[in-house]
Amino acid sequence: MRPVFAFYPRFKLLDPARLVVLILCLGQLPGLGQSFAQKDTTNTKLMKAAREIMTGARYCALITLDDEGLPRARTMDPFAPDEDFTIWFGTNSKSRKVDQIRREPRVTIYYFDAGISGYVVIRGIAELVNDLKRKEVYWKDEWGAFYPNYPDNYLLIKVLPVWMEVISTQHGIFGDSITWEPPVIKFKNNN
């Protein structure tokens, strides 16, 4: 059997080292480079970048669906994500978002950290938690003025992640060069 290079005389001049350089250069062409980057993007790398973005962003947007099925976004002051990326929020028990979550628990959370040029989007399932011990854990003293009847008018929103997408130029995590689709992590048992 003849070597592959024998069928392509132009490639006879390429030793293995030059061939590797050629392949790496081709990886920088539009449509090719991103596929290499996404294949190298591991869940560990994505989760590390996501956690850094989520803790670096002071606020996030919580998006629910109203009674007409239209998305409603509001700025929230979240707690740092749990180890498994469960997200906790505090809110007024009479707020619109509470009614919206009761009707439709599927929510989206959007974090953006301009400092490291990255964002995280989480789609999850929200549940309302009215447990006094949990309220004590997920409470910020600076919120006292907003909740004069704490803990009575204070309610927690717990969001279990279903999937998460991450973009971070600082961490070399980009979307597909053609579709711009970002890398996604799917969480088990939260569907």
Is 150 a member of any domain? yes
Is 22 a member of any domain? no
Q: Find the CATH number of the domain harbouring 56.
A: 2.30.110.10
Give yes or no for residue 6 having a pLDDT over 80.
no
pLDDT band per the 50, 70, 90 thresholds, residue 117: confident
Q: How far is CA 87 from CA 54, 81, 115, 145, in A?
A: 10, 5, 22, 23
Residue range(s) defining the domain that contains residue 153: 42-186
Domain count, the chain: 1
Is 7 a member of any domain? no
d(Cα 46, Cα 76) in Å, to the nearest integer?
23
Give yes or no for residue 65 having a pLDDT over 80.
yes
d(Cα 79, Cα 39) in Å, to the nearest integer?
31
pTM of the predicted model, to two decimals? 0.77
